[in-house]
Amino acid sequence: MMLEGKVVIVTGAGGGIGRDFALAMAAHGAKVVVNDVGASVSGEGHDAGPARRVAGEIAAAGGTAVANTDSVAEWESANRIVKTAIDAFGRIDAVVNNAGILRDRFFFNLSPDDWKAVIDVHLNGTFYVSRAAAPYFKSQNSGRYVNMTSTSGLIGNLGQANYAAAKLGIVALSKSMALDMAKCHVNSNCIAPFAWSRMIGTIPAETPEQQARIDKLKRMETAKIAPLAVYLASDAARAVTGQVFAVRANELFLMSQSRPLRSVHRSAGWTPEAIAETAIPALSAQFHALDRSQDVFSWDPI
C-alpha cells in the first residue's frame, strides 16, 4: 500500500495506459480522480462513459475514486480537475499527466489546426493541470508530478512533428517544475512508455516493416508501465526528481539528457570557412544520425 492515504489525479484515465495507472494507484491505497473527456484518438467528441467506468472498476475492487470529464487543454477546466480532488478528498498528492491525442501527418502536410490541437492537449494540458495543483503542493510542502513523454520526442519518429514537439516540450517543462519546486519538496519526473494502446493502434501497417513494428508493440502490455508511475507518485521516490525514464515490457531505462559531447576552440575566433574546414570535421564523429525510436530500440522487448 505504497500510496495509502494519498490523493492522485490521473488524466486520460478512461482507457489504455491511463486506466492502468488509475487502477494501480487505487490498488496501492490512493484515492483517485479519474479524468477523461472521452474523446476520440484525434480529440473529437465527449463521452463521460470511460471515466465513469474506470471509477466504477476501482470502487468494485474496494477502492475509492471519482470521475471527472473536464478537458486538460483549457485553463479553467484544468482547474476544475484539481478542484474535484480537493472537493472530494480534501487534498492532492500527485498528478499524472497522461492525457493525449494524435493527429499524425508528415510535416509538409501538417495543418495549423492539427499542430495546435496536439500541443494544447499534451504540452498545454500538462502545464495547466500541473500549475493548478502547484499552490496545493506548495502549501503542504510536498507533491509529485509524473509526466508522460515519448521517444518520438526524445529520439524521433516519422509523421509526428506535433506530437514529438509536445512530448519533448514536456521534458523541459518537467525539469523546470523540478527545479522551481524542489525547495517545496515537490518532485517532477517523466516516463516514456512503450505499449500497445488505442493511440498506438492508429499507426499504419501498410508495409512488412510497419507490420513487424506493430506486432512488436502488441507484445508490450500497458499494465507494465504502471509500477513505475506508482513508485514515482509515492514518498519512496522523494529523492528522485528531474529524471526521464522509459519502460518497455520488463525493461526499465534511465534516459540521457542533453549535455555537451565534444568542443573545439579557435583563439582567433570562427569564420564560416574555418567552421567548414576545422570545426565540423572535428565534431562530426559524434553527430547523431536521423534515428527513429525503433532504430535505437532495435531489439525485441524482454
Whole-number Å distance between alpha carbons of 100 and 17:
11
d(C-alpha 65, C-alpha 18), whole Å:
14
**Helix/strand/coil percentages in the chain, nearest 5:** 50, 15, 40
Active site residue: 128, 136, 163, 231, which one?
163
Phi, psi of 290 (to 5 degrees): -80, 65
- Residues 6 or more apart in contact with residue 7 via CB below 8 angstroms: 30, 31, 32, 33, 85, 89, 90, 91, 92, 93, 94
**Is 128 annotated as catalytic?**
no
Half-sphere exposure of 29 (CA within 13 A, CB side): 11
**Spatial CB neighbours of 294, under 8 Å, sequence gap ≥ 6:** 213
Give the single-character DSSP code of 160: B
Catalytic residues: 163
